[in-house]
Amino acid sequence: MTLIQRTTTEAPQGHMYYIGLDVHKKTISYCVKDVSGRVHQEGKLGATRCELDLWMRTLPQPWTVAMEATIFTGWIYDHLHPHATQVKVAHPLMLRAIAAAKKKNDRVDASKIADCLRCDFLPECHMASTEIRDRRRTLRYRGLLVRQMVQTKNRISGLLMETGVTYNKQRLHKVGYFRELLASNEEVNESIRPLLRLSRDTIARLQKTERALVSSLQRDPLLTERIKRLRTVPGVGPITALTWALEMGEISRFRSIRQAISYCGLCGDERSSAEKSIRTPISKQRNKNIQFVLIEAAKLAPRQDHDLALLYEREKQKGNANRATLAVARKMVAYLLAVDRGQRDFVTAEDGRCDAA
């Protein structure tokens, strides 16, 4: 794609130039402004590394750039970072409120982002390091494999129910029982046998791949020691530890436990006006990956730790099981945050008192 560019009068030399990018799959609209808000360049280029390189050669120095967080942001951020004074990524939900306008198109959006950057009004969001993002991609792909396994297992159950086959639900997906079911159960129709075998083979392949991905992440030198410490927290297994390390990223960016809990989506939204205040049960603005894993871990943690079991029972008496599970999940966030910040193994209160004595 040919770079389309419009240039106006140049701004005075020695000033910072502010660039807003509106990123799409095939094109990137850009607007370059000086500190006074005067447009220096604007146009559109193809969303490729080659065209970005050609475009950067035309830019006045020095420059800083901002863009909205999208699926394409990562590689563009990495490509621009070595050449820019600063690269910032804007939170899409907050940016939408700031950049709302009657007239909206790619050119206007790029100009609005440049203005937000220039006036220091950009709702900046955290951008994890390339190393963390690469490993996070692997972990999220593992989640895709798990979902596919669950769908395939449900399909097996569906095939058996459709044809009226009697089976043991708890043992169905065990290799030995499944083989015995096909060999000895006369209720299994010949028409579904190939589909059942294909589904079983698919599950086996997915399980093998999933285990290989988890094993590679656990052996990764960047994560090994951190994962080992996190797993000392009650109820935290390898998947919970990996998800915490890769979804939370640099733990120093969380100034308090409340901020970490909010990021994990374990608290409710608040809507207050005048003397009225409404709180929703759980926030929808969250990292859904860490939220899901922590809630699942919180369902098992009370079985492994006495303090968490007491907390669960106390909260359950006040409300219901879901409220109690959320309380346990929030306590686990506090534990994980303390372990990560202190870079030491988890120690219970009783163990700490014994050591002090």
> CA neighbours within 13 Å on the CB side: how many for 50?
5
User: At residue 237, does pLDDT exceed 80?
Assistant: yes
**166 or 282, higher pLDDT:** 166
CA atoms 161, 164, 165, 171: torsion sign: positive
Q: What is the mean pLDDT of residues 227-254?
A: 93
The rounded radius of gyration (Å) of the Cα atoms in the chain is: 26
- In three-state secondary structure terms, 239 is helix
pLDDT > 70: percent of the chain? 88
Q: Which of 2, 6, 9, 8 is nearest to 27 (CA)?
A: 2
User: At residue 97, does pLDDT exceed 70?
Assistant: no
pLDDT reported for residue 277: 64
pLDDT reported for residue 107: 87
**Amino acid identity for residue 301 in this structure:** A
**Amino acid identity for residue 280 in this structure:** T
Using alpha carbons only, give the angle 168, 172, 173 rounded to the nearest 5 degrees: 160
- Out of 2-11, 49-58, 121-130, least confident range: 2-11
- The answer to whether the beta carbons of residues 91 and 129 sit under 8 Å apart is no
To 10 degrees, the CA torsion angle through 8, 14, 20, 23?
Answer: 90
- Out of 60-64, 97-101, 208-212, least confident range: 97-101
Q: Distance between CA atoms of 15 and 126, rounded to whole angstroms?
A: 26
For residue 173, give both structure tokens. 């997906």
Whole-structure pTM value: 0.84
User: At residue 299, does pLDDT exceed 70?
Assistant: yes
Percentages helix, strand, coil for the chain (3-state, rounded to 5) are: 55, 15, 35
pLDDT reported for residue 278: 65
Helices 288-300 and 238-248, interaxial angle, to 10°?
Answer: 150
pLDDT reported for residue 83: 93
Residues 113-125 have pLDDT tens digits of: 999 999 988 888 8
DSSP classification of residue 303: G
For residue 145, give both structure tokens. 């494999």
Q: Give φ, ψ of 68 to 5 degrees.
A: -80, 145
Q: Which of 55, 67, 64, 76 is nearest to 113 (CA)?
A: 67
> CA neighbours within 13 Å on the CB side: how many for 106?
14
User: At residue 101, does pLDDT exceed 90?
Assistant: no
Residues 166-180 have pLDDT tens digits of: 888 899 999 899 999
Q: Which of 249, 141, 149, 134 is nearest to 199 (CA)?
A: 149
pLDDT reported for residue 356: 38
* Model confidence band, residue 351 (pLDDT cutoffs 50, 70, 90): low
For residue 85, give both structure tokens. 């004074």
Q: What is the mean pLDDT of residues 154-167?
A: 92
State how beta strands 86-90 and 63-68 pair.
Answer: parallel
What b/e string do you get for 80-89 counting C-beta neighbours within 10 Å, with b at 16 or more? beebbeebbb
Q: What is the mean pLDDT of residues 339-346?
A: 91
Q: What is the mean pLDDT of residues 44-65?
A: 93
Strand order in the sheet with 63-68: 4-7, 39-46, 27-33, 17-23, 63-68, 86-90
pLDDT reported for residue 80: 94
